[in-house]
Every structure is written in structure tokens, then in C-alpha cells.
Amino acid sequence: MAPKLPRLEPDTAFFWTSGADGRLRIQHCADCGQWQHPPLPRCASCGSETVSPEPVSGRGRIASYTVNREAWLPDMAVPFVFAAVELAEQAGLYVFTNLKAPIEEARRGLPVTVAFEQQDDVWLPMFRPEAS
């Protein structure tokens, strides 16, 4: 069974396809400078409509995580780590994703970097421990 993939909707397609060039993109407000995720039609901070996807470093730290031992979908490999990654660009800017590492490596504060997994024309942004 093929994995279930996100739909490429007009407001979110940039997030799911930005891995084509290896760069994670997050919505940024040109007026107040805030980053936000998930994407919204207006800035959640100042209400401006001048929000657009911009490349970010792809680096962050695990703020929280859970080890899932039950498959959410048929044929899903378990166990796996689902993590809240706080991106380096801004405190409180989170991406919720899988950690591509053995479950024993997961811990709060772990430095991570984006690692895209391509499925058809979608690049799933996952994270792996940063090389030391």
C-alpha cells in the first residue's frame, strides 16, 4: 500500500514541495518579521497579508516527542518517533514531524536538521540528529 500523502493545496503546496531543492520553506511576514507555521492567509502576529514562503536553515531542536508503537495506517512501520521540532529561526516556531533515527536517540533538546523524504511529487520534511 502506498503511503498517504498530503494534498497539494494552493496555500500549503510550497511546504510539501520545497524539498525538491533541499530547502525547507516556512511562511514569513514582510511587515513584522514573524515566521509562522502552519501557513495562514494572514500573519497571525500583525494581521498583514504580506506573508510568503521563505527558506529557513532547516535546523532546530526537539521540544517534545512521543514514541508511537501502533501503526496509524496499514503497512506503517513501527515504532517511530513523532516530534515537535522548534526551528532555529524563532522561539515558538514548530514543525511536527517524524524523527529519522533510532528511537533510543530521541530526547528533548536534541539538535536536528531537516531530511526530506520524496514520495511522488511531495517532499516530506522529516528531521534527523545533527551531525556532531
Give the total number of structural domains in the chain: 1
Residue 125 has pLDDT above 70, yes or no: yes
Structural domain contains residue 69: yes
Structural domain contains residue 6: no
Q: How far apart are CA 69 and CA 111, in angstroms?
A: 23
- Domain range for 54 is 13-129
For the four alpha carbons of 52, 55, 60 and 66, in that order, the dihedral sign comes to positive
Structural domain contains residue 1: no
Structural domain contains residue 114: yes
Quick one: which of 95, 91, 124 has its CA closest to 112?
Answer: 95
Residue 86 has pLDDT above 90, yes or no: yes
Structural domain contains residue 125: yes
Q: What is the pTM of this model?
A: 0.93
Structural domain contains residue 3: no
